Amino acid sequence: MTVEEFMNLDDDYHRHELIKGELLTMPPVKRLHGLVAANLTMLLLQHVKANHLGDVLVESGYHIEKDPDTVLGPDVSFIAGGHYPDLPDGYTPGPPDLAIEVLSPSDRKSYVDRKLALYLETGTRSIWLVNPRRRTVEVVSSMSNRRMLDEDDELVDDTVPGFRVKVSEIFA
């Protein structure tokens, strides 16, 4: 499938991603996933807007590879100011600086690892894997540089300058 065909999908009931031309369909997220994603969005957005750092987006598509096309839609993402100025509506042509994936019980490790590799290979600086059931956040800046944080830790990531939050607040 091409990115043009992907953009014209007529399916409002599912979430989709396109990986190397292959359509992946996911069910709508459940309540806990939605609550955690909304809370993270609020915490991140307050900091980013107050400090004029860029944009925070929710479930927005990033066209990160061509021929075959790959479009990923992280649950929450951050783009540093000036990274993609004056874009028309559509998928962002490139990766986010930060991709946040809230994990669901149905997420397979192989699928998550594949997405991590794609984000990193195409220029995403950091990925946060948020696990609502374990109440942890894994910060990944390369496949060999991964930090696991639990509720007692503070989440700090240079990708979003000055952002600091106690991991427990993400799940509050």
Domains of the chain: 29-61+71-170 (3.90.1570.10)
> Taking the chain (172 residues) in consecutive chunks of 10 residues, what is each chunk's mean pLDDT?
88 81 85 95 97 95 94 96 77 96 89 94 97 97 95 97 97 92
Residue 109 to residues 48, 78, 103, 114, 142, Cα–Cα distance (Å): 30, 24, 10, 8, 16
User: Phi and psi dihedrals of 114, rounded to 5?
Assistant: -65, -45
pLDDT score recorded for residue 29: 86
Pairing of strands 126-131, 62-65: unpaired
Q: Residue written as tokens 């929710």?
A: 58
Instruction: Write down the H helix ranges in 51-160.
Output: 109-121
Sequence-separated (6 or more) residues with CB below 8 Å from residue 143: 116, 117, 120
pLDDT for 33 equals 93
User: What is the model's pLDDT at position 37?
Assistant: 96
- Give every CB contact of residue 96 below 8 A, 6+ residues apart in sequence: 57, 62, 74, 77, 78, 79, 124
The pLDDT of residue 17: 86
Inter-CA distances, 121 with 95, 116, 167, Å: 10, 9, 27
